[in-house]
Amino acid sequence: MDLDQLISRATGLTTGAGAALLGRLQSVRLPGVGTASAKDDPATAARRWRAVTVLAAPDRLADLPSPLAALGDRVETRVRPAPGDKGTELAARFRGPATDDDLGRLRQALRETKQLVEVGEVLRMDPRPHGERADTPGGRLLDGAVAASRKEGLL
Amino acid sequence: MRALTWTGVNQLSVEDVPEPQLLNDHDVILKITRTTTCGSDLHLLSGYIPFMRAGDVIGHEFMGEVVEVGSGVRNRRVGDRVVVASFVSCGNCWYCRNELYSLCDNSNPNPGITEGLWGQAIGGCLGYSHAVGGYAGSHAEYMRVPFADVGSFVVPDGVPDDRALFASDAASTAFTGVDLGGVQPGDTVAVWGAGAVGQMAARISALVGAEQVVVIDRLPERLEQARTHAGADVIDYSSTDVAAELRERTGGRGPDVCIEAVGMEAHSPGPQGVYDQVKQQLRLQTDRTSAVREAIMACRKGGSVFTLGVFAAMVDKFPLGAVMNKGLTLRGAQVHGPRYIPRLLEWMESGELVTEHLATHVMPLEEAPRGYELFKEKQDGCVRAVFLPHG
């Protein structure tokens, strides 16, 4: 086996290992990803109130801003003053069973609602300047995490 | 345009990238006139913050000229010469209204990452990984600055660029530690690290009334700068028992306030340093904390320890017993820039705070990889490399 073949073989093995790792990581259920929780079973996690505190008076949330309104009757909401002049607690949850994707949409809707009320717009990020994006397993993993990050987290 | 990008662990490149655009009403576009290395960039470079994507434009300490203004911007105009806070702050959430700007609720578009790491998401930071937003950084010809009314500040005519530049992050980070660390008139303050942030912490401590300031490092040229420009006493930890020296200088009490300005790649002589290096390399801990440990042990009873250096996640062999039993206040924060930059610019204009000596190596952006090499390896007396994207 000459040097080129050896390097080619090693590269192939590395890529395969990276892909296998990526596949394995995608199947791991981490707290804050979809309905996964450190302790709750998925059904309990899906039924928890998800809440943001908005620095505004409760009447600013009387008519639900569009991100939450778009989820329609499937979602129930709760609005109450936050203690210590911290604004208004806006909580929401699905009335019935919810999937990982449903919870992701709810998290994103709550975050965007808070931004719209507090600053009047939702932060945009793209297009943004960047150089050449090398196609690597680690890069693909990070791309996936970033793409999901508005919909995931502990909210 | 040309920009410095992270292309892999310990790899940087200057390449052509698209120019930034106004994306939100509160944005401005800045023509970058000066942008500098920061010690915290080295953690990105070394791969200790694993949220970098090949092609990311780095850099978060900078100044420039406003060349385009979004429709919602009220207080900035084309042509303004401004210095910009490194963290992005909306100005309207509870944290911003309480001057805790780096904890902004609305400026990190990737909250899922840091919620998982730390329990809550902090604000976004320009040019500092996708964990804090994935914003393009300042080592470029042009840059988008979100929420510009909150984070950018017009530089007074009497303040030269090489002075104003360091209000962006180094001096405002230092002020965060001095203020929230609770430095009072008459205090003795010890500062670990004689880089730009440590030197600024020493000088600002003196400006707010500290009676004695001691800076600890091992690099003679940095210690000399701390002595000359910050008026501090200095200790070379490579040849001196730091705790014993501090006890001797403080009547056996220890410093009232200890400010750690080193971060997650602290150097330490002896077995402790080897232990931390091995555990960090094996990813059994994310951070090397020898300076924090030493600060906690040296601090007087009932005193205050402030961590200004950047840390990522988990540490080992942390002297929690000393924190509890000595009644210490342990606090940390990323920089709350807009809270401190106006006062810093006043001090800079009056000449009470000078920073030009920090810019030891000034060079075109095209030479930025060499600048980072000098900075990382601390070669040729490099304290900060400053890049000029437009020559």
What residue segments make up the domains of chain A, in order of their start? 44-121+145-150
Say what the pLDDT of residue B48 is.
86
Res B49: pLDDT:
86
Nearest-angstrom CA–CA distance, B206 and A74: 60
The beta-carbon neighbor of B115 closest among A32, A121, A130 is: A32
Does A147 touch chain B if contact means CB atoms closer than 8 Å?
A: no
B74 vs A15 pLDDT, higher one: B74
How far apart, in whole angstroms, are the C-alpha atoms of residue A39 and residue B112?
Answer: 19
Task: Please give the single-letter amino acid code of residue B62.
Answer: F
Residues (pLDDT < 50) of chain B are none
User: Which of B94, B93, B131, B128 lies closest to B111, judged by CA?
Assistant: B131
Length of chain B, in residues: 391
Distance, in Å, from the CA atom of A139 to the CA atom of A120, rounded to the nearest integer, reads 33
Beta strands in B157-277 (DSSP E): 188-192, 212-217, 233-236, 257-260
CB of A148 less than 8 A from some CB of B: yes
Any B CB within 8 A of A86 CB? yes
Q: Which residues pair with B192 in a beta bridge?
A: B216, B260
Instruction: Identify the band that residue A19 occupies on the pLDDT scale cut at 50, 70 and 90.
Output: very low
Residue showing tokens 């620095």: A55
User: Which pLDDT score, from 0 to 100, does residue B315 have?
Assistant: 84
The predicted structure's pLDDT at residue A23:
41
Query: Tell me, what's the pLDDT at B267?
Result: 79
Report which of A103, A80, A99, A102 is spatially closest to residue A91, judged by C-alpha positions. A80
Q: Provide mean pLDDT across the span A112-125.
A: 96
Q: What share of chain A is helix, strand, coil (3-state, %, to 5)?
A: 50, 10, 40
When pLDDT is cut at 50, 70 and 90, the band that residue A25 belongs to is very low
Across the interface, whether the CB atoms of A131 and B54 are under 8 A apart is answered yes
Which A-chain residues 20-39 have CB contacts (< 8 A) with chain B?
30-32
Task: Assign A150 to helix, strand or coil.
Answer: coil
pLDDT of residue A30: 64
Structural domains of chain B, with CATH: 2-169+335-388 (3.90.180.10), 173-332 (3.40.50.720)
The DSSP symbol for A56 reads S
Instruction: Tell me how close the Cα of B281 comes to any Cα of chain A, in angstroms.
Output: 18
Rounded (to 5) percent helix, strand, coil in chain B:
35, 25, 40
Q: What is the pLDDT of residue A7?
A: 46
Residue B181 carries which side chain, given as an amino acid letter?
G
Which of these CATH numbers, 1.10.10, 3.30.70, 3.40.50, 3.30.870, describes A44-121+145-150?
Answer: 3.30.70
Contacts of A7 (CB under 8 A, 6+ apart): none
Percent of chain A with pLDDT over 90: 53
Å from A128 to nearest chain B CA? 6
pLDDT of residue A50 exceeding 90, the answer is yes
Sign of CA dihedral B309, B315, B316, B320: positive
The answer to whether A18 faces chain B, any CB pair under 8 Å, is: no
Q: Tell me, what's the pLDDT at A15? A: 45
What's chain A's average pLDDT? 83
Predicted confidence at residue B153, as pLDDT, reads 98
Residue A2 — pLDDT band, cuts 50, 70, 90?
A: low
The 10s digit of each residue's pLDDT in A85-103 is 999 999 999 999 999 899 9
The percent of residues above 70 in pLDDT, for chain A, comes to 77
Distance (Å, whole) CA A112 – CA A120? 10
At residue A26 the predicted structure's pLDDT band, cuts being 50, 70 and 90, is very low
Distance from CA of B207 to the nearest CA of A (A): 34
Report how far apart, in Å, the C-alpha atoms of B274 and of each of A121, B21, B87, B267 are: 50, 47, 34, 9
Q: What is the dihedral of CA B91, B25, B61, B295, to 10 degrees?
A: 30
